[in-house]
A and B are shown apart, each in its own frame.
Chain A
């Protein structure tokens, strides 16, 4: 994955057995993660995730003014996802830098990629260690992956690599998704007012933010044979870069594409990708996004941007470094 072709170059870390694999090998590992992150599992997580979102919003309302990136977009996923994974308390501060590294490492081979990889050793060591069974609490996503090895669905050696996939892609994505949604609701107060009038729109308001901002902007694929795409012939073993953000604003597909509209029919956007590699954690992302936006709509009357908004640069992710806001209680 990324700009470098692992058939020709050595990857910066051991290759992913789900993202960087094709069917039929991919089908087996994907089925394991589908099971661990299924709709049935989300039903069990819902109440706990919702309660944590309410608690986070109460805490932020008490503070009044804060940074919506560090304190909300990062703070909320960090308060639920590591626990859902079953991670130990110690060392969690490595999770965000590791995720930033993964998404910068997709390339191109620029300063962002280079410096992320140069600084990566402690983060890689932490993640490798937490993928081991003895470090994962029973009942969490990580232990459930190891349980699938007991059931014979994957080998014991494959389980840690699948845990690594969730630690790579399960946190920065939701951080930037929730960050995008809060940034949208802060910029478009009339949409926040609509959401406050009808809380059932929370899930779609998050989905529309994923379309509108496309936190994962681009993804590479590698052709496995010569193909023709849009009238262009591409040879075997070529890298193809998909611009998900552009597709999500394509005027041929979306009416008024540059408008954030929380009632838009968002089905068919590609913010989570598409096809067999479509985001395996999309249900976790939607759950986090929905319960956070519902909590905001219930408790917050107004979101005001109260300082300079700073963008964070990453080779793959679109998001903010800082979003100073002030919350007024409902």
Chain B
């Protein structure tokens, strides 16, 4: 199982086991990572599952789609170069070790 590490704004880290094929958002909500709100349930329509992808990983993810790009412009915490919506990050075995930082706010 790929391991993903979520790092909270206060730097506390949580390592969780993700299933290949699910999204990083689904893995987070399944494991009770409350900072991922995911109001729209993974339909890329709300921008409340925002994460900052660690520099070393950002280039290894599929590119940001148009819808996601527009939503990222409205995130509650400021958009940064590593900003992604975790519902759009599909977990694959190659993403074992992925590090995602959580923003201060989702709403």
Contacts and interface: CB of A to CB of B under 8 A. Distances in A.
Select the residue from B45, B47, B66, B71 with max chain A CB neighbours within 10 A.
B45
Contacts of B37: 267
- Give the interface residue-count category, chain A: 20 to 34
Contacts of B47: 39
Nearest to A286: B39
Contact of B45 (A203, A207, A265, A278): A278
Interface stretch (A14-22, A114-122, A268-276): A268-276
A40 interface: yes
B100 interface: no
A282 B40 contact: yes
Contact of A269 (B29, B41, B75, B76): B41
A239 to B, nearest CB: 23
A41 B107 contact: no
Contacts of A269: 41
B45 to A, nearest CB: 6
A147 B50 CA distance: 29
Contacts of A268: 29, 38, 41-42
B67 interface: yes
B103 to A, nearest CB: 13
Interface residues of B, number: 20
B104 interface: no
Interface string B30-66: 0000000111111101110000000000000000001
Contact of A267 (B41, B67, B73, B107): B41
Given A34-B67, A34-B70, A267 B75 contact: no
Interface string B70-82: 1101111000000
Contacts of B76: 39
A40 B72 CA distance: 9
B66 A282 contact: no
Dominant secondary structure of chain B at its interface with chain A: loop
Contacts of A41: 74
Given A267-B38, A267-B39, A272-B40, A282 B74 contact: no
Contacts of A283: 45-46
Contacts of A225: none
A160 B24 CA distance: 39
A280 B43 CA distance: 11
Contact of B107 (A203, A266, A278): A203
Contacts of A39: 46-47, 71, 73-76
Interface string A252-290: 000000000000011111101011001010110010000
Given A38-B71, A286-B39, 14 more contacts: A31-B66, A34-B45, A35-B70, A38-B74, A39-B46, A39-B47, A39-B73, A42-B74, A267-B37, A267-B39, A268-B38, A268-B42, A270-B41, A274-B41
17 contacts: A31-B66, A34-B45, A34-B70, A38-B70, A38-B73, A38-B74, A39-B46, A39-B71, A40-B73, A40-B74, A43-B74, A265-B29, A267-B38, A269-B41, A278-B45, A282-B40, A283-B46
- Top 9 nearest A-B pairs by Cβ distance? A39-B74, A40-B74, A267-B38, A268-B41, A39-B47, A278-B43, A38-B74, A40-B73, A267-B41
Interface of B: 29, 37-43, 45-47, 66-67, 70-71, 73-76, 107
